[in-house]
Structure 1
Amino acid sequence: MTKIDLITGFLGAGKTTFLKKYAKYLINKGEKICVLENDFGAINVDMVLLNEIAGDNCNLEMIVGGDGAEAHKRRLKTKLIAMGMSGYDRVIIEPSGIFDPDELFDTLYEEPLDRWYEMNNIICILDAETEDNISKASRYMLMSEAVSAGKIIISKINDENTYKKGKIVDLLNKTIEEFACNRKIDEKDIIAKAWDNLRDKDFDLIARAGYRKAEYVKRAFENADAYQTLFYFDFDMPINELEKAVKMIFGDQKCGNVLRIKGFIDTGGIKKTEINATRTKLMIGESETERAVLIVIGEALNKDRLKKYIGEPSI
């Protein structure tokens, strides 16, 4: 049977960055894998970032959402059926930061998937800079992903902030208690190490992480209501103005609760400029992609206020 690994984590936690490292480790071990990008939004920018790992032993597939949970679940099942005879040793699923792991369990229990696939690992990526004042809907989503994980891997950790491991354990357990879940997170469940220092022995441990079936009361937080995704196609802006606009958006509460800004921008150069920004981190680089698109993800987004900084959204 083909193993299924699910990589969860909140918006901007670093799932795609980790996935590239994990996939390279598995490929070097001789596994034939497929990475399935399973996004909440209508367009998947992260697929572009994964092109460097595609090859004979690594295929990339994608499904998109944006029109309801049931349609999203049907697409996931259809895609897995289509991939069922491809001879993969492992399928790694990277959803957006908005995903209930129980949706995948439910799908894998259905025929014919129950004959072809087995749940192997759930790996949760958690940002070391995660704030403790996120909304209740976000706390619930964070809790539901973390309590199912065999291992929780801390991103953006370094020598200066390794002390935050204990703080993160406290934050998770406080959130778990809030939603009356029966699991308790221990430090042994967490890997807190700079990712450049991860070695094969670390990935050996991660590849055997397993998963947990925690019990908690399901809450009526609908993704479409709690989160919004705005798209700006063919977006162009000089890079200095772009940096300024992004910082001002995160600093302007009237824009709504902006969680992440990412995409590929035409800044006037030969290559597109890649941007990936959260409230605590702004990364800018170059990309080979042809299409320019900017994506803003958040809660209660104010389109009129955002227009002041980046114009009218396409969707």
Structure 2
Amino acid sequence: MKNIKNQKTSITVITGFLGSGKTTFLSKYIKYLQKNNENPAVIVNEYGNLDIDSHAISNDIEVVSILNGCVCCDLQLDLIKQLKHFLSKSATRHIIIEATGLAHPIDIIAACQDPEIVEQVSPPTVIGLVDGPRFLNRGQYTKHTIQLMEEQLAVCHAIVMNKMDLIDHNKQVMDMAVNEINPTASKYFTTYANLSMDNIHITSDNSGVKASTHAHHHGINSVNYHFSGPINRQLFYQFILRLPDNVLRLKGYVKFRDMPNDIYEFQYAFGLPDYQIVDEALPLTLVIIGEQLDENKLRNQLDMLQFT
């Protein structure tokens, strides 16, 4: 895998439905990063309360398990906490998150670009694993499960189509089906997740795609904005209520001029805003994640809040 190096810590999210070969790929990926002196650390998410995957990983790196839930929803705060833990260690240059097969990467991407850490990390790279036979037979599952399987692939920068020895005669069908979901991700056919990591071409800072330098190939991009001080409360409320439909997530911390000593945490998802006062000193930063966001328009609107 060829990455453009920078001062920020790299994050790779390994996603894919249950049984697709994520842990097998992870073990090989860790060895590759160690060989390149990237000193990786790993966060493994298990949906149940039994930690299996972390025991299959190299003993000479730090591995943290998050159990009893999914890091894309009820355990998102735990994920941010663990990311902050690794970021506090100057030797850690690369953090890998192996998500449970039931996780949606969009929410993990949001956690990786939380306002508290967004200045310390590069935009996350998402690598998806596909169980070839299961994917081709996905019609047997519920509509919700099929949607999850496909949405996991839709946000990937690279897709590893695994277990191809079991569907060799359907390789073209497989390729066409995956390409329809995500035509821009680089794709690799494997058995037992065997491939040369040097052949995976990903630019970790996404410099090849223009949209706030946080763009993903598939159209998901983000904008982070820092406020220098308190802003007008009513104008901010209007901004939140007028967010376009392509905004998927928003999280950030703001101060208002009518109560300049209080810091508010704001979140926005599925069209619904939520906020609360927090008791700690946090950066006055807002992170917006969505599909094909108009960065210039959003920044102009935020500038109006900042300077009006």
**Smaller-chain TM-score bracket:** 0.5 to 0.7
Q: Is residue 167 of structure 1 aligned with residue 173 of structure 2?
A: yes
1:185 to 183, 186, 193: 183
Alignment size in residue pairs: 204
- Quote how far apart the aligned CAs of 1:94 are: 0.2
Partner of 2:132: 128
Q: For each residue in 1:37-75, what CA deviation from the matched residue of structure 2 results, as whole angstroms up to 9, or x when unmatched?
A: 02222222111111xx121xx221111233896531111
- Quote how far apart the aligned CAs of 1:14 are: 0.5
Q: Is residue 149 of structure 1 aligned with residue 161 of structure 2?
A: no
Closer, same or farther in 2 for the Cα pair 1:206/1:78, shift >3 Å? same
1:31 to 16, 32, 38: 38
Partner of 1:75: 78
1:94 to 78, 93, 98: 98
Distance 2:120 2:93 in 1: 11
Distance 1:102 1:67 in 2: 13
Closer, same or farther in 2 for the Cα pair 1:169/1:196, shift >3 Å? closer
1:10·1:125 contact (CA, 8 Å) conserved in 2? yes
Give the letter for the 1:29 counterpart.
N
Partner of 1:205: 201
SS at match of 1:7: strand
Distance 2:96 2:126 in 1: 10
Give the letter for the 1:139 counterpart.
I
Q: For each residue in 1:250-281, what CA deviation from the matched residue of structure 2 results, as whole angstroms up to 9, or x when unmatched?
A: xxxxxxxxxxxxxxxxxxxxxxxxxxxxxxxx
Give the letter for the 1:144 counterpart.
E
- Quote how far apart the aligned CAs of 1:170 are: 3.6
- Report matched runs for 1:241-260 at 5 Å: none
Partner of 1:40: 47
Q: For each residue in 1:114-170, what CA deviation from the matched residue of structure 2 results, as whole angstroms up to 9, or x when unmatched?
A: 122222311000011121322211111111110111111011123x63343322234
Task: Please give the TM-score of this superposition, normalised by the length of structure 2.
Answer: 0.58
SS at match of 1:123: strand
Closer, same or farther in 2 for the Cα pair 1:110/1:196, shift >3 Å? closer
Q: Percent identity?
A: 22
Distance 1:75 1:13 in 2: 25
1:38·1:96 contact (CA, 8 Å) conserved in 2? yes
Distance 1:104 1:92 in 2: 12
1:39·1:63 contact (CA, 8 Å) conserved in 2? yes
Distance 2:131 2:105 in 1: 19
Gapped regions of structure 1 (runs ≥ 5): 177-183, 220-315
Give the letter for the 1:190 counterpart.
K
1:5·1:121 contact (CA, 8 Å) conserved in 2? yes
1:147·1:212 contact (CA, 8 Å) conserved in 2? no
Larger relative helix fraction: 1
Distance 2:132 2:70 in 1: 32
- Quote how far apart the aligned CAs of 1:172 are: 3.6
Distance 2:71 2:83 in 1: 19
1:4·1:93 contact (CA, 8 Å) conserved in 2? yes
SS at match of 1:118: coil
Give the letter for the 1:167 counterpart.
V
Gapped regions of structure 2 (runs ≥ 5): 1-7, 207-215, 221-244, 249-308
- Report matched runs for 1:101-120 at 5 Å: 101-120=105-124
2:71·2:99 contact (CA, 8 Å) conserved in 1? no
SS at match of 1:117: coil
Partner of 2:68: 65
- Quote how far apart the aligned CAs of 1:213 are: 4.5
Task: Please give the TM-score of this superposition, normalised by the length of structure 1.
Answer: 0.57
Closer, same or farther in 2 for the Cα pair 1:197/1:105, shift >3 Å? closer
- Report matched runs for 1:231-270 at 5 Å: none
Q: For each residue in 1:205-224, what CA deviation from the matched residue of structure 2 results, as whole angstroms up to 9, or x when unmatched?
A: 368696434469999xxxxx
Q: Alignment RMSD, CA only? A: 3.0
